[in-house]
Amino acid sequence: MSAGVPDRPRLGRFVRWYESRDKLILRRGIELHVVEGPPKELALELLELLDGRSVTQIALSSRSGFAILQTLSDFGAKGLLERGDAATSPAVPRDGPRLVGAHFAVTGDESFATELATALAEAGASARVTRRVETEPAETLVVCRFGPDLSAFEELNRVAFELDVPWLPVFPMAGELVIGPRCDRSVCFSCFELRWLAIRTMVELESAFFERLRRGAWREDEALTRAWLPWLVGSICASIPRIDGLSGGETESVVGVNSAHSRRRNVAIVDMSSGDLSWHPIVAHGLCPVCGRSRPKSVVDIDSWRDHPLSISELRAKLEGLADERLGVVSVEPTPTERLPARAGLPHLVLTRFSFPRPAEVLGRQTNFTHGSDPDPEKASTIALVEAIERYVGLTPPIVDIVAPYSQLGSTAILPTELPLFSDAQYDRPGFPYVRFDPNQPMRWISGFSFRSGRNKLVPAAAVYYGEDDPLLTETSSGVAAHSARSAALVGALAELIERDSFFIHWLNRLSPPLVEVDSSEDRYVLMLAGYVRSKGWDLRVGELTTDLGVPAYLAMGIREDGHGHPLLLGAGASMSAALGLRKALKELYSAVVCQPASWIPPELLKPEEVKRAKQHIDFYASLDNLDRARFLFSSSEARPPPEPSEAPESLFELVDHVQDRGHSVYGVELTAPELAGRSLYVVRAIVPGLQPLAFGPHATRLGGHRVFEAPVRMGVRAAPLTESQLNFDPHCFP
C-alpha cells in the first residue's frame, strides 16, 4: 500500500462526497477530486468499507476483490484517508489580541453562541447573546452555526440588509472554518457566495455542492463541531480583530476603519486539520440580488477620451483586493519554473483566471485563463490582472439604457445591419440560429460615444457584451480592452478590431499575405522573440496582413510538422506604428510557445462541422491532417522588409481619424463594472460598423456586409470580388 494509506483507514473527517450527474466528487476544504467512468463504482463501494477495518479486510469484503486496493491507494495518495484514532483538533489558540472597545451581539446555535460570547468578553469586548436580528449602536451581530447552513444565512442576510444590521457569519464547511465577511451595505453574504462560486476551477461542481448545502446536507457535522468548539472559539477570537469593517476601541488600528480603503472587506479561512489561517479580500458583486450596484455613468463628452494612463505601480495599487485564489474577481496563477524567461530581456509570462459574473450559468468544463507578458515581471503581472478583469467585465450582462424598436430611434441609434449582420443566404439555411433584423421589434440599446458626431449614440446591446446569446448576433471579446485611461483602452480595442478584420479578410478570401523578412530586422527585441520561437522547434513565418484600411497588421506563425508540438501557433498585432504591430504579433506567438506542454499529445481529431467554440478552432489545427487548410497563410513567395524600429507612442485620435478618413465611423462604449468604481481601470468596447468581425463556429460568421467581398479588390489582390459561395468556410485558425 502507498504511504498515504493507514493500517485501518477511514475517510477523513473533513472529506465530503456527493454525486453530480455521472460524477462522484470527493472534497476536502477547497480541493475537489472527481471520479467518473468505471472507477466511480469502485470508489462508491470503497466508501462503504472505510469503517476502520484493515486493508486486508477491505480487500476480502469487496465485491471487486483486490482490484479495490488500487482505488484505496488513489484515495491515500490524494490525502482523503486517516486513521480512526486520529487526533481531534489542533491546539486552541491562546493569548490572542485584546478586543477592548469592540461590541458584539452573538446569535446562532445556542451552545456555540454562548461560548463565543463568553470568550469575546474575556478578550475585553462587550459581548452578549441574542436571539434576534438586532444590534445596539456600534455593535456587530456575530452569527455562528455548527454546519454550513446556507439557507439560514441567506434568509438572515436579506433580513439584516433590510434592517441595516451589520453582521458577521461564522461557520465550518468541509474542513475549514470561515469567518466573515462583515456584511452590511457595502458587501453582503450573497456577494460572498457569488465570489466563492465564480472563481472555482470547476464552477458547476461547486454550485452542485452549494445546492446540497441549501437542502440540508451535512448538518450532521454538528456533533463534530461541538467536539471542536474550544478550538473554533479560540480561532474566531484570534481572527476577529483583523476582519475589515469591524470598529471600536483598540480594534480600529488593526482593522483600519479610518483609512481610505475602509469599505474593503476580507474573510478568514482556517484549515481545521492544520490550524493554518489565510486571509482573503472580497469586493461587492455587481449582480448581487441583495445589495447589487448600478453601473457607473456612461462617458458623454470628447474630453473623457483625452485622459492619461497611470504608472504600472499606481495602477497595481488601485487594483488591490481584486485578485485572490478563493474570493477574487480574478486569480493570479503561480508561474512554473519552465515558463520563466529563458534569458534576460525575454518577456515574463503570467497566467490569470477570471471569475464568471453569473456562476449559475456555467456548465461543463470551463476555459477561463488569460495572460500578460512583459520583460518587467511587475508589468507582466499587472497586464495579466487587467486582461482577466477585462474578460470578467465583458461577460457581465448588460445594463441597458433603453428598450425600443429601431424605428422609434432613427438617427439616435446605429442601424444594426451596418455592423454587419448575416446574409440572406445564411438566414435561409434550415436551423440557422439567428433572426433577421426587424426595425419594429423592441431591442436593448446601450449608449456609446460617436467620434464622428461628438455625441452619444445608441448601440445594440448584443454588439457590446459577449456573455450571453442574442437572437440578433453573438459577439466575441474582439474589440474589448482595459486600461487605466479610457483613451489607451480604446486604442487597444480599436487596434484589436483592425487586427481581427485584417486576418478574417485574408482567411475568408484565401489571400496569401507577403512574408516579412524578420531576420533583417534591426529591432533587437524582435530578433530575440524570433530566436526563442525557433529554439523551441517551430519554424517562424510572419505575414503582413495590412488591408485597404492602411493600418499595419501582422500575423506571426509558428509552424511545426515533426509531430512533437502543435503544428500551428499564432500571434497577431496591429498598430499605426508598424514596428509596434510586429512586436505585438511576435510577443503573442512567444506566449503561445511558452505555454506549450513539454510532452505533446494531440487532442482528438475534429471534423470541420464539429468546430463550434474558440478552443476547438485551436484544437482543429492540432492535427497535421488539417494544416494544409491554413498553408496559404505562410506560403507566399512575396517578401517584405521589416519595419524600422520605433518607440513612438500610440495616439487614439490619430488612429480614429485614420479609420474615419477611410469611410468608417468609430464608437467607444464604456463597460466599466461597479466593482471597478474608483479604481482607475476602464473597460471599453470599440465598435466600427462595416469591419469584418471575427467569429467562432459554423454559423457565427457574419456575411451581411460588403467589406469581406470588396476589400481584396481595393487592396489590388483581386480583379473582382468573390461570391459568398466562393469564400473559405474551413474553420479558421485564429486562437
Residue 297 above 80 pLDDT? no
Question: How many Cβ atoms from other residues are within 10 Å of residue 516's Cβ?
Answer: 25
Residue range 188-208: mean pLDDT, rounded: 94
Angular region, 519: left φ>0, alpha ψ -120 to 50, beta rest? alpha
Nearest Cα to 170, choosing from 198, 141, 197? 141
CATH class of 9-83: alpha beta
Q: Where are the alpha helices (DSSP H) in 573-646?
A: 578-594, 614-620
Spatial separation of the C-alpha atoms in residues 216 and 729, rounded to whole Å:
52
Spatial separation of the C-alpha atoms in residues 190 and 187, rounded to whole Å:
8
Burial-class residue 609 by CB neighbours within 10 Å (0-12, 13-18, 19+): exposed
On whether the CB atoms of residues 26 and 16 are closer than 8 A, the answer is yes
Residues 6+ apart with CB under 8 A from 116: 106, 127, 142, 144, 170, 233, 236, 237
What are the pLDDT digits (tens) for 20-51? Answer: 888 999 998 888 999 998 899 999 999 999 98
Residue range 201-207: mean pLDDT, rounded: 90
Q: At 15, give phi and psi (nearest 5°).
A: -90, 130
Grid cell for residue 157: 442576510
Residue 248 above 90 pLDDT? no
Give the pLDDT band (50/70/90) at residue 250.
Answer: very low
- First vs last Cα of the chain: how many Å apart? 45
Q: Where are the beta strands (DSSP E) in 37-123?
A: 81-83, 103-108
On whether the CB atoms of residues 457 and 446 are closer than 8 A, the answer is no
Calculate what percentage of the chain has a pLDDT beyond 90. Answer: 69
Spatial separation of the C-alpha atoms in residues 35 and 15, rounded to whole Å:
14
Angle at 545 between CA 543 and CA 549, to 5 degrees: 160
Query: What CATH number does domain 103-282 carry, 3.40.50, 3.30.200, 1.10.150, 3.30.70?
Result: 3.40.50
Question: Quick one: which H or E segment has residue 167?
Answer: strand 167-173
Spatial separation of the C-alpha atoms in residues 251 and 263, rounded to whole Å:
16
What are the pLDDT digits (tens) for 446-499? Answer: 999 999 999 999 999 999 998 777 899 999 999 999 999 999 999 999 999 999
Q: Is the pTM of this model over 0.95?
A: no
Query: What CATH number does domain 402-500+652-726 carry, 3.40.50.2300, 3.40.250.10, 3.30.465.10, 3.30.40.250?
Result: 3.30.40.250
Please report the sign of the dihedral spanned by the C-alpha atoms of residue 97, residue 103, residue 108, residue 114.
positive
Which residue type does 338 have? E
* Structural domain spans, the chain: 9-83, 103-282, 402-500+652-726
What are the pLDDT digits (tens) for 59-96? Answer: 888 888 888 999 999 999 998 998 866 556 667 666 66
